[in-house]
Structure formats: structure tokens, C-alpha cells
Structure 1
Amino acid sequence: MTAMPAPVRVDLTHTFRSDPATVHAALSEHENLGPVFGASVTRVRDGETERNGVGSVRRLKIGPLPAFEETVTESVPGELIAYRITKGSPLKGHWGEQRLFPTADGGTRLEYRIGFDAAVPGLAQVVALGLRQRIPAGLARLVP
């Protein structure tokens, strides 16, 4: 029996000059994420109690690939945004977690972790490479 490849994990860190509340607001607004991911992003549904909170759903379309949907599973203002792909992706077990930490100078350190696997051999590694290249450049344009 052939062993399945271990899930891929992408760990990114970015420092913003803006405070955690400002960064959280920018990251949680679905329509802001197109340039971060290099995708067309469309809001599908507002959250259960807040527009961008738990239960909110966004549809992402990257180039010629089929669209997929991400659902926010946790949101703590100024601290955390967590989500999962819930529809339409060739990736398996995809999750994302954005943790925000205040810096001594009033800014924010973002620790962004993404995990996933894929049934197609090599696909997860290709996606991880793309994320590692695209996301840092997109975050630099999100907020100062």
C-alpha cells in the first residue's frame, strides 16, 4: 500500500504599521482579498451575527480554475480569523488561520497559517508555492 503524502502547510508572517483592529477589519472584508490571493472574490453570504463574521462565505475564482468557497469558522476582532474551504476545491482538508499580535510600536504582526492536501500528486506543493509567492505581495498592499 502506498502512503498518502503528508498535508502541506504554508506559514507566513507579515508586519503592518496599522493596529490589530484595523488589520482585522481589512482582512475580514471579503472584497479586500482579491489582490491578496490574486483572485476574483465575491461575497456569497453574510455572517450569522456580523457581516464578515462566523458563517460568512466568499467565492474565489483564480484564473481558469473552477471557483471555490471559503467559510469563516472563527472571528475574534483584532485577534483571529479562521476559515475553511467548504465547496468546490480539488484541495482536501483546507483551512486557514490568521492570528494578529500587537507590536511594541503600535503595529500588528500577522501569523498566517494555511494547511491542505490534494488527491492529485504534486498539486498541493504547486498550490503552496503559489500561495507563498502571491500572499506576501498582496498583504503589503492591503493596509499599511
Structure 2
Amino acid sequence: MSRRLRSVDLDFVESAPLRLVFAAEVSAPPEVVYRALADDVAGWPSWFTAVTAARPTEDGAGREVRLKGGTVFRETITAAVPGERYAYRVDESNALGLRALLEDWRLTPAGTGTRVQWTFAADGPAPFRLALRLGRSGLGRAFRDAVRNLDKRLTGPEA
């Protein structure tokens, strides 16, 4: 059962009760990485294995994302700066305990490639926040695997 979450602004990424930040580098330039994040929403399941389905909504102003295990997010894009930043807020979800969530992807040049930084900013009751802190290493591993898969997809022979 989906429920409405608290609406947060982009500054929530700095003030959230729980912030998990991960970073990795890819070989592709920032503009190419940005297009994979923002323009090819339906392509997310091909590189982020936790995502089973993703589609743009609201003429590209939103997204619907389905995760393994049945979690669904209905999101609003809060920042779309080509080659630099892609962020979205979750407006509705069936995730237990989640009160607010904003994810922020920052892209910065790193040599001939890109440094990808993902901030997962969330709020929920204390047990929810504790569970996410305990699951930090798994979330970090999922991020690193996703970025590695994305790098292969963007720079492989079929790219």
C-alpha cells in the first residue's frame, strides 16, 4: 500500500536526519553519465540491479521506480543540471518507516572520466534510521556495483 511522504526541498540533502554518501569514478565524461541518469530512466535496471523497472512520469518531471522486493517509489525531479547534478524526492512509497527521501547524484570531472557521488538523504523513526545505518555497507556495495555496471555500459564495445 503506497502512502504519501513528507515533501522536502533540495536542501534536505544537507539537513536530513540520515545522510549516506557514496562515491566512485567512471571512465565516461559527466555529460554521458548524466544522460544515463536523467534521460535514460528506463535503462536503469540494466545497470542498477536493485531496480527492476523505471519509467519517467509527468512528461519527464517525475519517475516511478520499482525495486527488488516490491518497493515502489513515485518521485519528483528536484534538480536536473546536465553534466553536473540529478536529484529527486520520493513523494509516495510503500517502504515501511520511510517519512522522507531525497537522492542526489553529483557529477564532477575526474581526469577524462567522472566522479559520481550519490547522497541518500532520509527521515524515518529511530528504528528505521538505525536499520539504514546498519545496512550502509550493503547500500554502498549496491552503489559501487551499479556504477561499475554503468561504466561498462557507457564505455563498452556496444556504447
Supply the distance in 2 between the matched residues of 1:126 and 1:135 (Cα, whole angstroms).
16
Mapping for residues 1-144 of structure 1, pairs under 5 Å = 7-28=17-38, 29-34=40-45, 35-36=47-48, 38-47=50-59, 51=60, 55-63=61-69, 65-88=70-93, 89-90=95-96, 91-104=98-111, 106-119=112-125, 121=127, 122-143=130-151, 144=155
What secondary structure is seen at the aligned counterpart in 2 of 1:74?
strand
Q: 1:42 to 1:103 in 2, by over 3 A?
A: closer
Aligned equivalents of 2:82 and 2:58: distance in 1? Answer: 16
Q: Decide whether the 8 Å contact of 1:118 with 1:124 is kept in 2.
A: no
Query: CA 1:127–1:84 in structure 2 vs 1: closer, same or farther (change >3 Å)?
Result: farther
| Alignment coverage as a number of residue pairs | 131
Q: What is the root-mean-square deviation in Å for CA atoms of aligned residues?
A: 2.2
Q: Partners of 2:76 and 2:137 in 1: how far apart?
A: 23
The normalised TM-score by structure 2 is: 0.71
SS in 2 for 1:36: coil
Deviation at 1:44, TM superposition (A): 4.8
Offset at residue 8 of structure 1 (A) = 1.9
Aligned to 2:48, the other structure's residue is in SS state helix
What is residue 11 of structure 2 aligned with on the other side? Answer: none
- Structure holding more helix per residue: 2
Q: How far is the alpha carbon of 1:130 from its aligned partner?
A: 3.1
Q: CA deviation at 1:137?
A: 0.6
Distance of 1:23 and 1:141 partners within structure 2: 12
CA displacement at 1:62 relative to structure 2: 2.3
Percent identity for Structure 1 against Structure 2: 24
Structure 2 gap ranges (5+):
1-15
